Structure 1
Amino acid sequence: MNALRRLVVLLCGSDPKLRRTLQYWAATCVLYVACIALLLLQVSEGMADPAAADKLVTFGGSGALLFYVLIRVSGRLKLAPDQLAVSQAVFSLACGMAAYAISGPLRGAMLIMTVVVIVFCMFAAKPRQTLLLTIAALAGMGATMYRMQASDPQRYPPMTELITFGYLAGALLSTAVLSGEMSKLRARLKRQRRELSEALDTIRVLATVDELTSLVNRRRMHEVLEAEERRQSDGRQGGKGACIALLDIDFFKQVNDRYGHATGDAVLRSFSSTARACLRGGDVLARWGGEEFLLLLPDAAPEDARVVLERMAERIHGMQVAGLPDRRISFSAGLATRRAGEPFADAIHRADKALYQAKEAGRDRIVLA
């Protein structure tokens, strides 16, 4: 199995874009094989010149192999997919013109293949390139028809060739117009897909992050706590448990009432950024509601958690908020250690009681449950 995988990588590479281009090449090869088989059948029925058919088969097969090599090394040669597509289309159109010249009574079938070549280009070439290919196909096939009716009017009647060319022109020009519309549709779908992806990213952020403070929101914090519970129940928490702290900005309502909600929002933003800068690597701070915050300190003993909270309090005391030049910001905190097997909801409840005690004792302090 590994040998087969290595062979696939050797032949098709590992780059998804390269493999997609090779898939298009493989599809054209299937078309080549089908046309070669039908051409050989024409030869066996005496409808085509054997020598000319052999030359065309050799030319077509060699060209297909050459394009495989070009696609495989396109990264080194810096060949863009649309360049490769246009080159293959030109080659296929040349083969179609040669097949038309030697196919005798079945030459009209070659015109179908000409349209198919242009249709293939709709998926890789740009609209302008497809239009130029259409013009080139009409010019080349027109020249081939003119030459054949001039050199062999019995087998290629001039009026028949003229009418046939008219049908071909209508089909190719219609295909070119459809190609342009398809290209616009693809561009529109690509733009909508990009906009949808950006909208989904925004929704994910809004679903997990508090818009004002850029902290984890309450919904996301519940998920974090559940994950921490599972981690500890699996015995992966190490030698220490986890601590939970509830923080409440002191006299925040007075700030809103006296200075306005814009200043209150500025306090919340400054508090959040300053507090987050004091955390350890695995700590998670969430906005729990209003001016209340929940702090998870995994793998932390109570003394470790208190050090974090005291460092946080010191930084908050020195915090400067625009519009509050003379007001010192502080917070009260209730700290609880999660007991073995205890749901975090119970630890939060105990931390909430400790927070209430901190407020009753005069605020700006940390109380351990």
Structure 2
Amino acid sequence: MSLRRQRATKRTLQSLLLKRFGMAVATYALTALLCGVAMLADLLHVSILTGLLFIALATLSQLVFWGLFFTGQNLRFSDPSLTEPQVLVALTWLTALLAMFAEGRGSMLVVYMLILLFGVFQLPPKVFVRCAVFAFFGFAGLNLYEAYLFPSSDSGLRILQVSALAAVLLWLSLFASYVQSMRQRMRQRRFALQAHQDTLRGMMRQLEDLAATDELTGLFNRRHFLRLASHELDSLRAGRRHGLALIDLDHFKRVNDAHGHAAGDRVLQTFAGVARACMRDGDIIARYGGEEFVLLLPNTDEDQFTACCERLREAFNRAEPLGVKVDNLSLSVGMTLLNMHDDLDEALHRADQALYQAKRSGRNRCAATWANADA
């Protein structure tokens, strides 16, 4: 993955985590609103100093988390979302807040669920259970401590509240385990689907290669060459010319008759290897049919194109097919030039005429038909 993509991924992750942090802050604000309602209903008795100190410490804890997200230090942790620390801190503040309630404490138990729901989709099942156990023992310990201080208080209500919280936490733990199991299965299916898609893309590329490639020589086939040549001709601009050549291996039938078709195949493969070695990047060479090949050189002129074809002819003269003893390998080349608004069929016909001229003149040579080359 490139550095730019890594940075973009980090920015996207941080943006998502900041939004989740905003949801956590909203939960604190909702809890503060409920506390305001409880104070108006005379269910929460706390001094102004204690209330301000509580708010200041809770705000400070959130500023610490915000600083970690804002500076990117959260990315140093195994869980960049810091979900478990945020949940544990929120549970601690909630338990401390419930200690200030005289009555109506049971109504505030719903905030435990809000806090833990924050981790249902993020925390692994074991970690979620750990947070749930922390919440339960915090609330149960608070009630045991008050029962010890005030033995005459309503113990039945305390038992009911603790039992209700235990039941809810147990249900949430099972639900979190189910959600994580579903996410794991979906992740595995996504990976399997991605693997299938990669396989299909690979097969499509192989099919495209097979459809565009001559099986024997590995060069482009005629159909694909015509498609590429048409595209190159359409993109040709005034003042530029492309070289087009038809190449025929001389006396190829004699090779087949004297040495067999396997030897003829070796000669064709030898030519393909020589042609690849002589071509530039962007040059197009294809098997046109039988022992005939076609060559397209973009952005060239008469001298450059002739030099290229001569270099190819001489290299093939010196070539030695692997495992076959064939003397006097040679080829004939018919050349022409393509101009803007030229017709591909007419250009191929000019190249074919030049090839006929080369063969009639004794083979093993390059001939050209430059007619209309400067039109």
Same fold (TM over 0.5): yes
Per-residue deviation at 1:265?
A: 4.8
Farther off after superposition, 168-177 or 246-255: 246-255
One-letter code of the match for 1:36? Y
How many residue pairs are counted as aligned between the two chains? Answer: 339
Farther off after superposition, 252-261 or 63-72: 252-261
Whether 1:148 aligns to 2:149 is: no
One-letter code of the match for 2:312? M
CA deviation string 1:222-256 (max 9, x = no partner): 44333433443x3362xxx2220012334556656
Corresponding residue of 2:151: none
Counterpart-to-counterpart distance in 2, 1:333 and 1:299: 19
> Is residue 87–residue 131 contact of structure 2 (8 Å, CA) maintained in 1?
no
- Counterparts of 1:85-124 in structure 2, within 5 Å, are 85=81, 87-103=82-98, 104=105, 105-121=107-123
Corresponding residue of 1:6: none
> Is residue 40–residue 53 contact of structure 1 (8 Å, CA) maintained in 2?
no
Corresponding residue of 1:127: none
Whether 1:83 aligns to 2:87 is: no
Report the 3-state secondary structure (helix = DSSP H, G, I; strand = E; otherwise coil) of the residue aligned with 2:219. coil
**What is the TM-score when the length of structure 1 is the normalising length?**
0.77
Corresponding residue of 1:200: 201
Counterpart-to-counterpart distance in 2, 1:24 and 1:61: 17
Per-residue deviation at 1:144?
A: 1.4
CA deviation string 1:70-126 (max 9, x = no partner): 52684xxxx26x5313x33332333134325525322223223303323134xxxxx
Report the 3-state secondary structure (helix = DSSP H, G, I; strand = E; otherwise coil) of the residue aligned with 1:245. strand
> Is residue 335–residue 354 contact of structure 1 (8 Å, CA) maintained in 2?
yes
Per-residue deviation at 1:220?
A: 4.3
Task: Give 1:210's match in structure 2, choosing from 205, 210, 213.
Answer: 213
Counterpart-to-counterpart distance in 1, 2:279 and 2:178: 62
Counterpart-to-counterpart distance in 1, 2:256 and 2:232: 35
Counterpart-to-counterpart distance in 2, 1:71 and 1:257: 76
Corresponding residue of 1:28: 20
Corresponding residue of 1:293: 293
Per-residue deviation at 1:145?
A: 2.8
Counterpart-to-counterpart distance in 2, 1:359 and 1:141: 94
Counterpart-to-counterpart distance in 1, 2:291 and 2:94: 80
* Structure 2 spans left out of the alignment, 5+ residues: 99-104, 148-153, 370-375
> Is residue 233–residue 340 contact of structure 2 (8 Å, CA) maintained in 1?
no
One-letter code of the match for 1:311? R
Counterpart-to-counterpart distance in 1, 2:177 and 2:260: 64
Report the 3-state secondary structure (helix = DSSP H, G, I; strand = E; otherwise coil) of the residue aligned with 1:84. coil
> Is residue 93–residue 117 contact of structure 1 (8 Å, CA) maintained in 2?
no
Corresponding residue of 2:190: 189
* Structure 1 spans left out of the alignment, 5+ residues: 1-12, 122-129
- Counterparts of 1:1-369 in structure 2, within 5 Å, are 15-45=7-37, 46=39, 50-51=51-52, 53-55=54-56, 57-71=58-72, 74=75, 79=76, 82-85=78-81, 87-103=82-98, 104=105, 105-121=107-123, 130-152=124-146, 154=154, 157-197=158-198, 199-200=200-201, 203-204=204-205, 206-207=207-208, 209-210=212-213, 212=215, 213-232=217-236, 234-235=237-238, 237=240, 241-252=241-252, 265-339=265-339, 341-359=341-359, 363-369=363-369
Q: Give the superposed CA RMSD.
A: 3.4
Counterpart-to-counterpart distance in 2, 1:33 and 1:308: 73
Per-residue deviation at 1:290?
A: 4.4
Per the alignment, do residues 157 and 51 of structure 1 end up closer, same or farther by CA in structure 2, a change over 3 Å counting? farther
Per-residue deviation at 1:186?
A: 2.0
CA deviation string 1:194-226 (max 9, x = no partner): 552464355346536526444344454344333
Per the alignment, do residues 131 and 120 of structure 1 end up closer, same or farther by CA in structure 2, a change over 3 Å counting? closer
Counterpart-to-counterpart distance in 1, 2:113 and 2:120: 11
Counterpart-to-counterpart distance in 2, 1:275 and 1:111: 73
One-letter code of the match for 2:238? G
Per-residue deviation at 1:38?
A: 0.8
Per the alignment, do residues 311 and 56 of structure 1 end up closer, same or farther by CA in structure 2, a change over 3 Å counting? same
Counterpart-to-counterpart distance in 2, 1:353 and 1:300: 21
Per-residue deviation at 1:264?
A: 5.0
> Is residue 288–residue 294 contact of structure 2 (8 Å, CA) maintained in 1?
yes
CA deviation string 1:40-71 (max 9, x = no partner): 21221126664575156314421331331452
Q: Percent identity?
A: 23
**What is the TM-score when the length of structure 2 is the normalising length?**
0.76
Counterpart-to-counterpart distance in 2, 1:60 and 1:263: 82
Per-residue deviation at 1:261?
A: 6.3
Per the alignment, do residues 230 and 134 of structure 1 end up closer, same or farther by CA in structure 2, a change over 3 Å counting? same
